[in-house]
Amino acid sequence: MSFARPSLHLVPDPVDPTPLVRFCGHCGQAPPTAMAARSRVCALCGLGVVITAAQDLAPRKGESFIIIDQQLKLCGLSRGAERVLEVDEPDAVHRHICDFLEPADAEAGQGDELLQSIITSGFAEPRTLVVRPAGEYGVRYAARVGACGPPAGALIVLSTV
């Protein structure tokens, strides 16, 4: 009778989770106080819902962003995104993301890359890809795509390429 000796396995170092930050889903500003951070509505502009996202995904000053729900429809966008997409938030909410953005290389057969990034955002690290406004051919944006909430959804942060 032979007994197998246990073998040693290399265990990777644990990865520290990315810190989470809170910001307004309309003006993009962080809540000014801890009490305001617990509120559902922004204490600064009074228009946006307070959203939570990973610190490396959250919009930086001057970046435009879009919040997408689980049905791939817009549920919020920043003032900057209103300018970029040339639409007012009330007219954009509940419309499909493909009405507004598409991958920059959509003609090359990669049209589902944006949708796949949004769908898998809750299960993966934030991802960066290049997008353009739907129907535009000379404008490009780097888009960071990742999970945000509540409610569970995806955050797309746009910055110029």
Amino acid 47 reads L
**Could you give all domains of the chain from N- to C-terminal order, each with its CATH number?**
61-160 (3.30.450.20)
Residue 85's pLDDT band (boundaries 50, 70, 90)?
very high
Cβ partners under 8 Å of residue 108, min gap 6: none
Amino acid 133 reads P
pLDDT at 18 over 70: yes
Q: For 104-121, write each residue's pLDDT tens digit.
A: 876 555 567 888 888 888
Rounded mean pLDDT, 9-37: 85
This prediction has a pTM of: 0.84
Cis bond leading into 17, ω under 30°?
no
Spatial separation of the C-alpha atoms in residues 94 and 67, rounded to whole Å: 11
Count of C-beta atoms within a 10 Å radius of residue 80: 18
Q: Is 143 helix (H, G, I), strand (E, B) or coil?
A: strand
* Average pLDDT score over the chain: 87
Q: For 29-79, write each residue's pLDDT tens digit.
A: 999 998 888 888 999 998 888 999 999 999 998 899 999 999 999 999 999
What is the separation of C-alpha 83 from the centre of its chain, rounded to a whole number of angstroms? Answer: 18
- Paired tokens of 27: 């003006």
Which pLDDT does position 93 carry in this prediction? 94
Rounded mean pLDDT, 6-35: 83
Q: How much of the chain, in percent, has pLDDT values that exceed 90?
A: 52
β-partners of residue 67 are 76, 155
Is the backbone of residue 46 left (phi > 0), alpha (psi -120 to 50) or beta? Answer: left
Return the residue matching tokens 């396995």: 9
